[in-house]
A = this chain, B = another copy of it.
Amino acid sequence: VEAVKMSFADQTQFTPLVVCELAEDTKEEAVEWLLSRIKEKQRNGGDRLLPALSQDDKKENPNIFLVGASWQRLLIGAEDLGLIKEFSDGSMRTFTYANREDFKDFQGDGDGFLSMAECQLIIKHELDTLRAKQETYVPGYPKIKLYPGKSIVRRMHSKGILLQIFPLHDKEELKRLSSTWYQQIRMAFQPLDDIRRYFGESLALYFGFLEYFTLAMLPMAIIGIPYYFFDWENYDNYVVFAICNLIWTTVMLEMWKRFGACLAYSWGTLSRKKAFEEPRPGFHGVLGHNPVTGREEPVYPNAKRHLRIYLVSLPFVLLCLYVSLCVMMVYFDAEGWVLGLHDVEPTFWTGLLLFLPSIVYAVVIEIMNRLYRYAAEFLTDWENHRLESTYQNHLTLKVLVFNFLNCFASLFYIAFVMQDMPLLRQSLATLLITSQILNQFLEAFLPFWLQKRRNKRVQRNESQTALGSKLPFEKQVMLEADMSTYLGTFDDYLELFLLFGYVSLFSCVYPIAALLVVLNNVTEIYSDALKICQVFKRPFSEPAANIGVWQLAFESMSIIAVVTNCALIGMSPQVKSYFPESESQLILLVVAVEHVFLVLKFILAFVIPDIPKHIQIKLARVEFESMEALKKKVNEGNSSSFWKSLKLHITVPGQERWC
């Protein structure tokens, strides 16, 4: 970075933060217009723009721009974003530019006060909120319409003019982070605070949850080992194990909320208010006034959105679920038919045929998952949510339900319709192990290997022109622009969620699952860290106070787990043998036990506070002070309105009729 500062000597102390890539054939006037709009902000202390990066190299895209900003501008942006930083008295307060000196770690002109990830987030926010004013179309592209309030960057992005915006890596810091994080294998917690400084809260919370989840699974894994080795066949001996598992799951999820709240508080995201979030870039509507802040921004009626959700999205999701169930039934029919065929007249070809239904089913499920994902994204986008977080929640919920059904429907069918426990255990083991291996391979090592190959090729080309172990800055930007984009923590959470399902739903059938998941998670931490540091473009930091809809998803899973485990225990032959005469008595007992467990879960969730007491007090204190401040402000308002009312009294006799 220091080198770059030198090479662009005309721009003193310019640190490039974000890369903005336009299509190669973008019309000159559109480029000029976009640059002028960004520079317009600069005039009001706005971002600074670097001109096109590598004009000399004909092969490269000339329309790559680097965006940076002065420290002062970034600090004002931090105030606009409502970042919360540690105050000099140790409390967490909303950052204000005027008050910057009173924040902890603020020194000199503020260099180093904001992390690079925060600076990049601020610039992204500035770019995202570049909105069209009087322009009716993008200059040079009369077909790309604009209307007042439309985000320029978003429109140009969706029309393919703007290819991508991404934050730059900081090679020095990345190296430091990698070495403490994943480059040596040792017994230590992850450097969550460093991860958060480099990648933002959302990712740091994911890694925090992954670590917490792994550690929390450890007791179950250890208890599960003897059960696995000594009692394989009598799975009703697992009653105690299952009960421990159920209670532990509940307590674990409740405690995570508290732990996550501690993390989010120390990162300043716990008390960030949702209502003050800017609308997400994709949000469109007529330019109006936000009823809360009074600021100008697009508005979209809530009723319309609800209509779209309940009349279009919901029926569509239900239809997809139904189709998925039908496909599953066809698969079981096909398998039964093939099995029958093979039993009647076993030949080599029927032996091969035995594998066909499973393979076809796996492929069909994969295709359905992908198609559904596109449809869900389209629908959620079309629902036009105001906030990025609500958009993500709706998308997650849609995808989650479908994935849950696809993954577990066949297991449920085997367990409760076919009642074939050995087959259930076998399917569970197969699914768990193959999905783990496949996931880690497809998700981290394959992209890493591809990336390595690409890097080497680039480096080889490079070494022909200039010898040196360090890539020049321009090449580094090009290299990063070529990397694939990290699409958010969604798939990582989904994977954890499904693993959690395998462990909790059928724990009394397959107690070794917890151990497998722990082993998987340990490698997952390393492979995910590798993936995020080396394989993908650096993602923008995302402020997050909790794991959002995933908390709900995991809790729902743990509730379903109570039902399935109780049912499995009730179905075991040995438990059945205690009630030889009356099956209905057994069922009633199982249902009663299940209800007791559910009540217990709710009482536990009610009794354990979500936010630890000491943080509750700190939050209440800031709120109390803000209330006192409001009173004071109103008082000041009053004194001025006192003068106003006085004036009015004086002017009343003559001008009464004009008011």
How big is the A interface, by class? 35 or more
Residue in contact with A94 in the complex, picked from B587, B621, B630, B645, CB distance below 8 Å: B630
Main secondary structure of the interface of A (DSSP, over half): helix
- The chain B residue with its CB closest to the CB of A79 is B631
A620 to B98, CA, bound (A): 25
- The chain B residue with its CB closest to the CB of A622 is B630
Stretch among A253-261, A537-545, A633-641 lining the B interface:
A633-641
| 21 CB-based A-B contacts, threshold 8 Å | A94-B630, A94-B631, A96-B631, A96-B634, A96-B635, A98-B634, A99-B631, A99-B637, A101-B638, A101-B642, A102-B641, A273-B627, A276-B624, A291-B617, A292-B620, A292-B621, A292-B624, A583-B583, A587-B587, A626-B626, A629-B633
Residues of B with C-beta under 8 A to A93 = 634
A625 to B645, CA, bound (A): 23
Residues of B with C-beta under 8 A to A628 = 633
Are B635 and A99 in contact, with the CB atoms below 8 A?
yes
The proximity string for A residues 350-363 relative to B, scoring 1 for CB distances below 8 Å and 0 otherwise, is 00000000000000
Which A residues lie at the B interface, using CB under 8 A? 79, 93-94, 96, 98-99, 101-102, 273, 275-276, 291-294, 302, 563, 583-584, 587-588, 591, 595, 613, 617, 620-635, 637-639, 641-642, 645
Given known pairs A629-B626, A631-B94, A633-B629, the reply for A291 and B99 (CB within 8 Å) is no
Given known pairs A591-B587, A591-B591, A627-B276, the reply for A621 and B96 (CB within 8 Å) is no
Residues of B with C-beta under 8 A to A627 = 94, 273, 276, 626
A98 to B634, CA, bound (A): 8
Residues of B with C-beta under 8 A to A642 = 101
Residues of B with C-beta under 8 A to A588 = 587
Are B630 and A626 in contact, with the CB atoms below 8 A?
yes
- 8 further A-B contacts with Cβ under 8 Å, apart from A94-B627, A94-B630, A273-B623, are A96-B635, A101-B638, A101-B642, A102-B634, A584-B587, A591-B591, A626-B630, A629-B632
Residue in contact with A629 in the complex, picked from B613, B629, B641, CB distance below 8 Å: B629
State the number of copies, please: 2
Are A292 and B617 in contact, with the CB atoms below 8 A?
yes
Are A99 and B629 in contact, with the CB atoms below 8 A?
no
Nearest 10 A/B pairs, CB to CB: A629-B633, A626-B630, A99-B638, A275-B620, A98-B635, A629-B630, A583-B584, A292-B620, A629-B629, A584-B584
A102 to B273, CA, bound (A): 28
| Least CB distance, A655 to chain B, in whole angstroms | 21
Q: Considering residues A101, A632, A641, which has the most beta carbons from chain B within 10 angstroms of its beta carbon?
A: A632
- The chain B residue with its CB closest to the CB of A626 is B630
A638 to B98, CA, bound (A): 7
- The chain B residue with its CB closest to the CB of A552 is B606
| Least CB distance, A628 to chain B, in whole angstroms | 8
A583 to B579, CA, bound (A): 14
| Least CB distance, A635 to chain B, in whole angstroms | 4
Residue in contact with A632 in the complex, picked from B101, B617, B631, B633, CB distance below 8 Å: B633
